[in-house]
Amino acid sequence: MPKRVVLTGFMGAGKSALGPRLAQQLGWDFIDLDDEIVRAEQRSIAQIFEAVGEDRFRALERNALAKALDLESVVLALGGGAIETAANRQLLQQDRETLLLYLEAPLEVLIERCEQQKLERNAVRRPVLEKRAELTERFQRRRPLYEMADWTIDTTGQTLDELVTVVVARWNEAPWNQPPER
């Protein structure tokens, strides 16, 4: 049985929304990798990008992931770009106790959700989202990397409640929850 569930996918995939709900269902803790970085650095992701640049942010992200993967009974939401760092992919793939879930949706849907979040609540600023010209390229570059996940969950047109139900059902049907063969 996995000791960690890690959620990956582009911005707007629903990682930070599904994560706490899934953790609650499993009786586990929820960790948001971006929040860990913000807490450690005492400044927002946008401020980190502005002050030290994306490369430095990726290094902080890499360290935060390595630390988080030491924990057990946690659901961990990655930032959308964490999968682009080769060291992160290696950590995630070599770790047999981590179940990697890719929350999938088309780019138009993801952008629309991010825009909606900006309108509805005090959404965190996403510096990568603001670079619109590069967005399609980033999405296409990342897609095959996300697809290396253990499970791919299509989130298009699904409410949060529906998504929780889908993932929990799949978890309950997973091999580690089946009675041993006699």
The residue sitting closest to ligand S3P, measured at its beta carbon, is 79
Give the burial class of 110: count Cβ atoms within 10 A of its Cβ; 0-12 exposed, 13-18 middle, 19 or more buried: buried
> In the complex with ligand S3P, which residue's Cβ is closer, 91 or 174?
91
> In the complex with ligand S3P, which residue's Cβ is closer, 2 or 80?
80
Give the burial class of 89: count Cβ atoms within 10 A of its Cβ; 0-12 exposed, 13-18 middle, 19 or more buried: middle
> In the complex with ligand S3P, which residue's Cβ is closer, 11 or 76?
11
174: left (phi over 0), alpha (psi -120 to 50) or beta: beta
Query: What is the closest distance, in whole angstroms, from the C-beta atom of residue 33 to ligand S3P in the complex?
Result: 7
Order the strands of the 74-77 sheet from edge to edge.
Answer: 29-32, 74-77, 4-8, 98-104, 151-154
Binding site for ligand S3P (CB under 6 A): 11, 15-16, 34, 45, 79-81, 126-128
Query: What is the closest distance, in whole angstroms, from the C-beta atom of residue 127 to ligand S3P in the complex?
Result: 6
> In the complex with ligand S3P, which residue's Cβ is closer, 120 or 173?
120
Query: What is the closest distance, in whole angstroms, from the C-beta atom of residue 76 to ligand S3P in the complex?
Result: 12
Query: What is the closest distance, in whole angstroms, from the C-beta atom of residue 98 to ligand S3P in the complex?
Result: 18
148: left (phi over 0), alpha (psi -120 to 50) or beta: alpha
